[in-house]
């Protein structure tokens, strides 16, 4: 049951990250002239906008996992669940807070999810950087 819950949560996170990656790409594309004609600070502001959109997706995913942990009664406080979720998502493995044996398989599942979704965000951000450098070089 835990693996099924984890896979469903991973699928929700994938849809969310793909949606926000798409929004970030559209945001970037709509600012083509600002990048090509503006100065370095204009380009930087567009890249920061892309980064913020991607970070919103990552933090939302951490919150979704935290909500699952609270729903499973692993944590009484959402703040504790969010912290634990962030540690899992970033694969830090502090070990200062651990879940019960009944649900501990969700930690590694979330870590795999985090690696994949951070990778997606990194790919989108790198594509924006590379395109901006090409446009600024013209």
Q: What does the pLDDT look like over 25-55, one tens digit per residue?
A: 999 999 988 888 888 888 999 999 999 999 9
At residue 138, does pLDDT exceed 70? no
pTM over 0.75, yes/no: yes
Given pLDDT bands bounded at 50, 70 and 90, which one contains residue 95?
confident
Distance CA 75, CA 91 (A): 19
CA 71, chain centre distance (Å): 21
């Amino acid at each position: 049951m835990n693996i099924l819950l984890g896979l469903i949560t991973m699928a929700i996170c994938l849809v969310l990250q793909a949606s926000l990656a798409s929004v970030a790409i559209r945001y970037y594309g709509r600012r083509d002239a600002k990048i090509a004609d503006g100065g370095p600070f204009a380009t930087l502001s567009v890249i920061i906008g892309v980064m913020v959109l991607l970070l919103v997706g990552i933090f939302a995913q951490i919150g979704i996992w935290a909500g699952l942990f609270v729903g499973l009664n692993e944590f009484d406080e959402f703040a504790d669940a969010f912290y634990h979720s962030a540690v899992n998502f970033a694969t830090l493995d502090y070990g200062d807070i651990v879940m019960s044996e009944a649900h501990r398989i969700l930690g590694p599942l979330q870590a795999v999810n985090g690696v994949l979704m951070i990778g997606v965000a990194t790919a989108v951000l790198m594509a924006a950087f590379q395109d901006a450098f090409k446009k600024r070089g013209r």
